[in-house]
């Protein structure tokens, strides 16, 4: 068996796994009957349909020839790590350190992901964006976001 | 004249100072993100949803609507000047628009796009005003079975008319429906798929999904690509006014584009994107004067037609959302979300329970279009400057807005982490060639669909044939099946692929 389309093979597999996962998860809730459908009724059916469609995609990926094999190509792991790392860092830091610290931190880390990194530019970007966010979200829209670290504010 | 009374009410609302301000803000922001490649209306509206907590419902929706049709204006600027569609609905505009710019006719192309869009926008506003009330009447006759079937038709339509693999798109819808099942069951009160995480019992926030998939996922994908070389025709933009001959050429194209776009916008799955592709194909098929510039070499009809169509389509796609509460595309799905945030249940009752909101929103579309033509033609120089801002400044700004928005959603960092997780999911979708927009539609419609299905079954005592014995419901389901069958026919299949081929 040779994989004819890489993209379709993996997406088909993803649909099958997720579909079965949801259907299996639904078995722990009450199914009811069609006159009184329970909480498991809809997700169980949908999960099975998704698994079925996924199998169809898989089948096509193994039988129908695609020019060039539909390769997935390399994964931008460095960018993925830096961008999402920066976001998670922001989420962790904000409640304790406030926006004034966590936002520049996020901007700095995420800027490392671009091919061109100039410290001066990035620092200016940090200042401008943090000031702008303070003006728009805290001053302008009056949203409750911690601004300073909790030990300073207290 | 009831229509005139309604419109008068609407204009009264739209011309209030606050609403004018927010319409302007939306139009401005829409143009901005339309001009910037790599940032679309879906990500932007998702980004702004948390901030509308602080606003009243009417100005909030007016602003969000302005972003959607504003993006259609802005997208054409980028397409014409740098051959990169600023917005997906402007893909076909780039074909002839960029060629016009290369021949020193960038001004005429921009004017054709702007004037065509304005005309189309004005007509579409009237269409929305005229057709919304009768459709609302019809919607009141709908029971749960009809609603369920309508949603099936809407979801199927959304993928049948889009590009790409049909099975994968339907799978993405179902994946979205399933993600919508992570919540507390409304009927029995049982939390589902929550893994004992309290935040998950309220369901995943759709803002987190939209930002993760459309915001973060796209940024990562953009950064992973080698930097593209951009050639900006900034110095060539002079002589904005088209010649008399240009006007003669573009008028029929604008009329055709407006008509086609208005019809396609209402269809499930329709909206700006489909309208522009179809209009370009139509222009290529219709005959112009004998000695005109061929298509692909800078024909003004290839700019005027699709640009009118995408603006008309963007506006008429509000009709199913406003009257039935069913979003025909991802942007409208976010509008439904916005209404829910403001405590308005989208559906036929909005027109009677919130007439100011309903008619104010419609009237604001015309006002917004007027502002857009002023923003775009005389001020074109400012937008051109924006195109020279490098992406490395832009994406940290997008990230900042997303992160703050996510946190303020519930004043909790859970949504920030959730969106980060969906960033990975978004990148996987991108890499595997799975179009994410249907997933968002499914996610929004999931809970509504389940509720209507279960209510319909309850009413029919478990008899599934209720969906086929009620004539309206049967008609809708048959239409959905027919759509799939027709698109799968080999002859149509190749035509469908051909229609989207122009994009490459």
Domain layout of chain A by residue ranges: 6-70, 77-153
| Angle, alpha carbons A107-A110-A111 (nearest 5°) | 80
b/e sequence B291-303, b meaning 16+ C-beta within 10 Å: eebebeebbbbbb
When mean pLDDT is compared over A30-44, B110-124, B275-289, the highest value belongs to B110-124
Q: Is the pLDDT of residue B382 over 90?
A: no
Closest chain A residue to B402, measured at CA? A87
Query: Average pLDDT of chain A?
Result: 84
Q: Any idea which of B24-28, B212-216, B266-270, B426-430 has the lowest mean pLDDT?
A: B266-270
Q: How far apart are CA B480 and CA B153, in angstroms?
A: 5
**Which residue in the set B168, B395, B450 is minimally distant from A42, CB to CB?**
B450
DSSP output for B121-160: HHHHHHHHHHHHHHHHHHHTT--HHHHHHHHHHHHHHHHH
Query: Average pLDDT of chain B?
Result: 81
Structure tokens at B495: 């035509």
| ipTM of the shown complex | 0.89
Q: Is the pLDDT of residue B504 over 50?
A: no
B455: DSSP letter: H
In this predicted model, what pLDDT tens digit does every residue of A38-73 receive, in sequence order?
788 888 888 999 999 999 988 888 887 777 677 777
pLDDT value, residue A17: 92
Residues of A in contact with B167 (CB under 8 A): 53, 56-57, 60
When mean pLDDT is compared over B10-19, B77-86, B185-194, the highest value belongs to B10-19
Q: Do B396 and A72 touch (CB under 8 A)?
A: no
Handedness of CA B78, B82, B87, B92 (dihedral sign): positive
CB-based contacts of B435, cutoff 8 Å, min separation 6: B162, B163, B164, B168, B169, B172, B429
Q: Do A87 and B168 touch (CB under 8 A)?
A: no
In this predicted model, what pLDDT tens digit does every residue of B326-368 receive, in sequence order?
887 778 888 888 888 888 888 888 888 888 888 888 888 888 8
Q: Any idea which of B39-48, B211-220, B401-410, B460-469 has the lowest mean pLDDT?
A: B39-48
Measure in Å the smallest separation between the Cα of B214 and chain A Cα atoms: 14
**Which residue in the set B223, B393, B454 is minimally distant from A37, CB to CB?**
B454
Residues of B in contact with A84 (CB under 8 A): 216, 220, 420, 423-424
Domain assignment of residue B492, given as a range? 2-501
Q: Is the pLDDT of residue B503 over 50?
A: no
What is the mean predicted confidence (pLDDT) over B29-50?
79
pLDDT value, residue B501: 52
**Which residue in the set A7, A46, A117 is minimally distant from B178, CB to CB?**
A46
Return the C-alpha torsion angle B20, B25, B26, B30, nearest 10. Answer: 140
| Angle, alpha carbons B254-B258-B259 (nearest 5°) | 120
pLDDT value, residue B231: 55
- Give the residue with greater pLDDT, B377 vs A62: A62
Residues of A in contact with B50 (CB under 8 A): 143
Q: How far apart are CA B210 and CA B42, in angstroms?
A: 7
Are B441 and B330 a contacting pair, CB within 8 Å?
Answer: yes
Q: Do B51 and A143 touch (CB under 8 A)?
A: yes
CB atoms within 10 A of CB B65: 27
In this predicted model, what pLDDT tens digit does every residue of A19-29 receive, in sequence order?
998 888 888 88
Measure in Å the smallest separation between the Cα of A28 and chain B Cα atoms: 9
Structure tokens at B341: 């945030």
Residue B267, classed as helix, strand or coil, is coil
- Give the residue with greater pLDDT, B157 vs B442: B442
Q: Do A113 and B223 touch (CB under 8 A)?
A: yes
How far the first Cα of chain A sits from its last, in Å, is 66
In this predicted model, what pLDDT tens digit does every residue of B136-149 receive, in sequence order?
887 777 888 888 88
Q: Is the pLDDT of residue A109 over 70?
A: yes
- Give the residue with greater pLDDT, A130 vs A72: A130
Are B282 and B256 a contacting pair, CB within 8 Å?
Answer: yes
Structure tokens at B98: 């960029």
CB atoms within 10 A of CB B71: 35
What is the mean predicted confidence (pLDDT) over B392-411?
83
Q: Do A8 and B395 touch (CB under 8 A)?
A: no
Per-residue pLDDT band at B421 (split at 50, 70, 90): very high
In this predicted model, what pLDDT tens digit does every residue of B78-101 receive, in sequence order?
888 877 766 667 778 888 888 888
For chain B, the domain total comes to 1
Q: Is the pLDDT of residue B157 over 90?
A: no
**Which residue in the set B185, B227, B408 is minimally distant from A39, CB to CB?**
B185
Q: How far apart are CA B234 and CA B347, in angstroms?
A: 46
**Which residue in the set B413, B449, B458 is minimally distant from A94, CB to CB?**
B413
Burial of B5 (0-12, 13-18, 19+ CB in 10 A): exposed
Q: For A37, phi and psi rounded to 5 degrees? A: -65, 135
Q: How far apart are CA B73 and CA B379, in angstroms?
A: 13
Q: How far apart are CA B122 and CA B228, in angstroms?
A: 37
| % of chain B with per-residue pLDDT over 90 | 3
């Amino acid at each position: 068996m040779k994989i004819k389309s890489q993209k379709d093979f993996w997406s088909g597999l993803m649909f099958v796994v997720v579909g079965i996962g949801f259907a299996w998860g639904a078995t722990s809730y009450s199914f009811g009957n069609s006159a009184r459908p329970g909480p498991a009724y809809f997700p169980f059916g949908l999960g099975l349909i998704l698994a079925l469609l996924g199998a169809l995609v898989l089948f096509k990926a193994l039988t129908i020839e695609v020019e060039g094999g539909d390769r997935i190509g390399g994964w931008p792991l460095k960018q993925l790590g830096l961008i999402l790392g920066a976001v998670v860092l922001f989420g962790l830091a904000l409640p304790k350190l406030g926006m004034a610290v966590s936002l520049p931190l996020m901007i700095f880390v995420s800027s490392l992901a671009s091919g061109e990194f100039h410290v001066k530019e990035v620092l200016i970007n940090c200042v401008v964006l943090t000031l702008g966010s303070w003006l728009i979200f805290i001053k302008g829209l009056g949203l409750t976001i911690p601004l300073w670290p909790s030990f300073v504010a207290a | 004249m009831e229509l005139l009374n309604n419109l008068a009410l609407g204009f009264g609302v739209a011309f209030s100072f606050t609403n004018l301000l927010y319409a302007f803000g939306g139009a401005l922001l829409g143009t901005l993100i339309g001009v910037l490649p790599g940032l679309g209306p879906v990500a932007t509206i998702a980004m702004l949803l948390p901030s509308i907590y602080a606003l009243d419902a009417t100005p909030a929706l007016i602003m969000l609507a302005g972003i959607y049709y504003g993006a259609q204006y802005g997208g054409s600027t980028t397409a014409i000047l740098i051959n990169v569609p600023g917005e997906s609905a402007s893909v076909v505009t780039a074909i002839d628009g960029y060629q016009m710019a290369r021949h020193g006719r960038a001004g005429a192309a921009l004017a054709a796009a702007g004037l065509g869009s304005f005309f189309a926008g004005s007509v579409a506003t009237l269409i929305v005003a005229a057709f919304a009330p009768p459709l609302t009447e019809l919607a009141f006759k709908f029971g749960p079975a009809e609603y369920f079937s309508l949603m099936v038709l809407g979801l199927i339509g959304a993928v049948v008319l889009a590009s790409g693999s049909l099975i994968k798109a339907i799978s993405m819808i179902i994946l979205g429906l399933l993600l919508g099942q992570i919540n507390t069951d409304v009927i029995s009160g049982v939390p589902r798929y929550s893994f004992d995480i309290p935040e998950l019992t309220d369901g995943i926030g759709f803002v987190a999904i939209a930002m993760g998939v459309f915001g973060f996922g796209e940024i990562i994908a953009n950064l992973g690509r080698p930097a593209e070389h951009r050639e900006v025709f900034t110095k060539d933009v002079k002589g904005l006014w088209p010649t008399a001959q240009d006007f003669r050429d573009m008028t029929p194209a604008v009329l055709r584009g407006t008509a086609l776009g208005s019809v396609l916008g209402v269809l499930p799955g329709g909206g700006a994107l489909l309208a522009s592709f179809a209009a370009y194909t139509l222009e290529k098929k219709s005959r112009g004067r004998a000695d005109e510039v061929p298509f692909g070499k800078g024909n003004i009809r290839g700019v005027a037609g699709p640009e009118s169509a995408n603006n008309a389509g963007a506006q008429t796609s509000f009709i199913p959302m406003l009257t039935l509460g069913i979003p025909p595309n991802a942007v409208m799905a976010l509008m439904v979300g916005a209404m829910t945030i403001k405590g308005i249940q989208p559906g036929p009752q909005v027109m009677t329970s919130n007439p100011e909101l309903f008619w104010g929103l419609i009237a604001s579309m015309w006002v917004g279009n007027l502002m857009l033509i002023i923003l775009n033609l005389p001020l074109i120089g400012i937008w051109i400057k924006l195109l020279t801002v490098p992406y490395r400044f832009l994406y940290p700004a997008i990230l900042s807005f997303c992160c703050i928005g996510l946190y303020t959603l519930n004043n909790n960092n859970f949504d920030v982490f959730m969106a980060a997780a969906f960033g990975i999911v978004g990148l996987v979708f991108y890499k595997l060639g799975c179009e994410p927009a249907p997933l968002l539609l499914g996610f929004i419609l999931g809970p509504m669909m389940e509720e209507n299905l279960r209510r319909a079954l309850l009413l029919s005592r478990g008899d599934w044939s209720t969906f086929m014995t009620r004539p309206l419901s049967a008609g809708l389901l048959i239409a959905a099946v027919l759509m799939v069958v027709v698109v799968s026919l080999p002859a149509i299949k190749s035509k469908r692929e051909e229609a989207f081929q122009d994009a490459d």
